[in-house]
Amino acid sequence: MHHLPDLADHPARLHHGDLFSRSALPRLGHLEHRVGHDPAAIFGPPGLHRAHGRPRHHGRPLRQRRNVEREQRGGMGQGSAQRDEEKQRANFHDHAGTIAALRSGRKRCYTRGAMKPRLRFAPSPTGYLHIGGARTALWNWLFARRMGGTFVLRIEDTDQERSTPESLQAILDGLKWLGIDWDEGPGKDGPFPPYFQMKKLARYHQVADLLIAQGKAYRDYTTEEESTQMRRDFAAKQGLGEKDDLRKAGFKYSSPWRDKTEKLDKPHVVRFRMQPKGEKIGFEDLIHGRLEKPDDDLDDFVLLRTDRIPLYNFGCVIDDYDMQISHVGRGQEHINSTYSQIAVYQALGWTPPVFAHFPLIMGSNNEKLSKRKHPEADVMAHKRAGILPHALLNFVVRLGWSHGDDELFTLEKLIELFDLAHVGKTNGVWNPEKLLSVNQHWIKNGDPKELACRLLPYLQDAGVTNAADDDRLITAVKAFSTRAKTLVEMAQSIKPYYAHGVTLDAAAVAKHLDAAGKDMLKVTKAKLLALTEWQAAVIDPIVEVIATETGAKKGAIAQPLRVAVTGGTTSPGIGDTLALLGREETMHRIDAVLGS
RNA sequence: GGCCCUGUCGUCUAGUGGCCUAGGACGGAGCCCUCUCACGGCUUAAACCCGGGUUCGAAUCCCGGCAGGGUCACCA
């Protein structure tokens, strides 16, 4: 069991003692006196999502659709309960209007007035920042930035077994490295704290009690032994063995406490009391359109564990509501849990946010990219491998999203161009070669000065201690910017230029430094000695001059020199190479070969 | 197995009924440039899962197969 401490800079102005204060959670003030009453009185009229403040723009097709629904249900005006439901449905369908607007490129509904979208990234601190999580964060962040909305970081630390402070730090570090910042969250006070789920347990309990009071949830006192016994009984009846998967046989848990209301002084979980009407339950997804399934397919899932800690499907709903999240963008693996969450929203009379379920990122084996099977799933592993943060962002943003034939984007361009309408539906496979080529592009086209700064730590790691963030390094970066796919590679390439002397490659020597090669080297040396300046621009012509004077091929001149000063047959242009080395070191290496 | 989602070159993708003889990018092959290695430029091979419909016309709409993925916890 771990306990997550506050971040050093997290204001943490909320303690359990003031959890119910007005300033902290406005609605909770009334809640205390009104448990058991109509939720509308506590939470405001159903169907009015506070994030938007007022009903949305009513598009004509939608109105028509609603009218059809009304007719099907036999007209309107049958009492307030039904009107509320009507209202709620109407508002619910307004999301479809938003979606239509968004998909058709009309973003006015967000840029005009107070309707700024609020998005969030809600990782659980149970490991490093995952590449899939990073893309989810990026897309949400990009959308928020583009629309002038708010990006919230919420920590879902309710898994007490696996959550660790180290993981939290790792995730924060990963986001920081990528340059994804947040407007509200750890270390950034916002209007709807706290941003750690473990700090608002009382809120979840309160909502759970409300649901129980309304018969929409129940206390389930079934012990673990009893439930395993139920499974065993089922297996026995079906003639299944211990190892058979009960799900495949259609096992469905059914609690004996489902319809009971007594409150016992015994440990229990709180379960949602699913009340299927034999209808479809579903939602409009920004990416997939209408998504639905039969409501009797859902079971009585757990809201609160025995230790009173909420489970994902519960905490998530309450937080998204409390934080007034307007759009939930998350991975496709959450589609099936969304149906359960919709049921909670409906039970509470809350309008759900707009959902967007992103395609998954798959490993080369075409399985969901996982931390265990795919080392490349770790964002920071790419930092260690010498990938530029922006290159990783550029690569990952295109995995499932497109802007015509464009592939390379600056961050500014992404903020300008990113939209959910062009997020695709199909899972994508992680392609390391492409990442490398994107990285190379930004190494090639990045600011050499910035690159030099970034390169320094990699040089340190490579054992180069005498490099500094100066003109020489910038020259080196320029010389190798078209020759390195990663910063690690670049550091390796640059390393020999910061050493004294060089190890000669035997094959290279045999090929280029035979007697003739050495003779040519002497000629070249004499020309170099005569130089008053030491720059690529004056060194390069020497090869040309010797070639015309002696009639030798340029290769016969440059290669012996190259082998002598670099030890091998490949390097940047000979002028750049010598300039980088400096006159003194160049002469030292030539003399070492000529033996004088 | 139930339910849910998805099928365009090997991979990422463009494509929203005629601009498609299906475009771009990575990777592959080849050529050019060239003092080496790169960069760059050019060329090239490579895909609409299958079968039915709707339509004058389908990669695009509908249905059925098939295939892949996801999900079925007191994880998130």
Q: Which nucleotide is nearest to A221 (CA to C1')?
A: B74
Which residues are CB-neighbours of A252 under 8 A, at least 6 positions away? A299
Angle between helical axes of A201-213 and A335-348 (0-180°, round to 10) = 70
pLDDT in tens, A292-304: 999 999 999 999 9
Task: Assess whether A162 (CB) lies less than 7 A from strand B.
Answer: yes
The pLDDT confidence band at residue A228, using thresholds 50, 70 and 90, is: confident
Per-residue pLDDT at A90 exceeds 70: no
In the 39-58 stretch of chain A, whose C-beta falls under 7 Å of nucleic acid strand B? none
Least confident stretch, A8-12, A299-303, A321-325:
A8-12
How far apart (Å, rounded) are the C-alpha atoms in residues A545 and A541? Answer: 6
Q: Is the pLDDT of residue A255 over 70?
A: yes
**DSSP class of A358:** E
Give residues 348-367 of chain A lying near strand B (Cβ < 7 A): 359-360, 362, 366-367
Catalytic residues of A: 371
As a whole number of angstroms, the distance between CA A302 and CA A543 comes to: 78
At A487 the pLDDT is 98
Predicted interface score ipTM higher than 0.90: yes
Which nucleotide is nearest to A125 if distance is taken from CA to C1'?
B76
Residue A596: pLDDT band with limits 50, 70, 90: low
pLDDT at residue A105 is higher than 70: no
Positions of chain B reached by protein Cβ under 7 A: 1-8, 10-16, 23-27, 34-40, 68-76
Distance in angstroms: CA A60, C1' B54: 28
CA of A395, C1' of B66: distance in angstroms:
33
Task: Write down the number of H helices and E strands in chain A.
Answer: 24, 11
Alpha-carbon span A93 to A64, nearest angstrom: 11
Å from the A395 CA to the B35 C1':
36
pTM reported for the whole predicted model: 0.84
Instruction: Name residues whose C-beta falls within 8 Å of residue A206's C-beta, 6 or more positions apart in sequence.
Output: A28, A31, A35
Determine if strand B comes within 7 Å of the CB of A573: yes
Closest CA-bearing residue to C1' of B13: A402
CA angle A177, A175, A135 (to 5 degrees): 110
A302 C-beta less than 7 Å away from strand B: yes
Q: Which residues contact A523 (CB under 8 A, 6 or more apart)?
A: A546, A550, A557
d(CA A354, CA A32): 30
- Whether nucleic acid strand B comes within 7 Å of the CB of A312, the answer is yes
CA of A413 to C1' of B64 (A): 44
Region A405-425: mean pLDDT is: 97
User: In this structure, what are the phi and psi dihedrals at residue A394, rounded to the nearest 5 degrees?
Assistant: -60, -40
- A281, A352 contact by CB (below 8 A): no
d(CA A138, CA A396): 9
Which token pair is A470? Answer: 């100066």
Rounded average pLDDT over A69-74: 26
Evaluate if the CB of A565 falls below 7 Å from strand B. Answer: no
Taking a C-beta distance cutoff of 8 angstroms, is the pair A14, A191 a contact?
Answer: no
- Could you check: is the Cβ of residue A297 within 7 Å of any atom of nucleic acid strand B? yes
Helix A515-529 crosses helix A583-594 at what angle (to 10 degrees)?
150
Among all strands, which nt has the closest C1' to A399 (CA)?
A: B12
Strand B and A373 CB separated by under 7 Å: no
What pLDDT, on a 0 to 100 scale, did the predictor assign at position A16? 27
Which residue, A362, A365, A208, is CA-closest to A272? A208
Q: Name the burial class of residue A237, with classes exposed (0-12), middle (13-18) and buried (19+) by CB atoms within 10 angstroms of its CB.
A: exposed
Nearest residue to A490 via CA among A447, A454, A517, A527: A454
Q: Tell me the per-residue pLDDT of A507-565, one tens digit each, with 9 for 90 and over.
A: 999 999 999 999 999 999 999 999 999 999 999 999 999 999 999 999 999 999 999 99
Per DSSP (E only), the strands in A60-175 are 118-121, 150-153
Partners of A119 in beta bridges = A151, A327
Nucleotide B68, nearest residue via CA and C1': A366
* DSSP class per residue in A160-226: TTT--HHHHHHHHHHHHHHT---SBBTTB--SS---BGGG-HHHHHHHHHHHHHTTSEEEE---HHH
pLDDT at A251: 84
Q: What pLDDT does A89 receive? A: 31
Nearest nucleotide to A368 (CA to C1') is B69
- Percent with pLDDT over 90 in chain A: 74
Please tell me whether any atom of strand B lies within 7 Å of the Cβ of A562.
Answer: yes
User: Coil, helix or strand for A352?
Assistant: coil
Whether A334 sits with its Cβ under 7 A from any strand B atom: the answer reads yes
CA Rg, chain A, in Å?
32
Examine residue A5 and say whether the peptide bond preceding it is cis (omega within 30 degrees of 0).
Answer: no
> Measured from the CB, is A337 under 7 Å from any atom of strand B?
yes
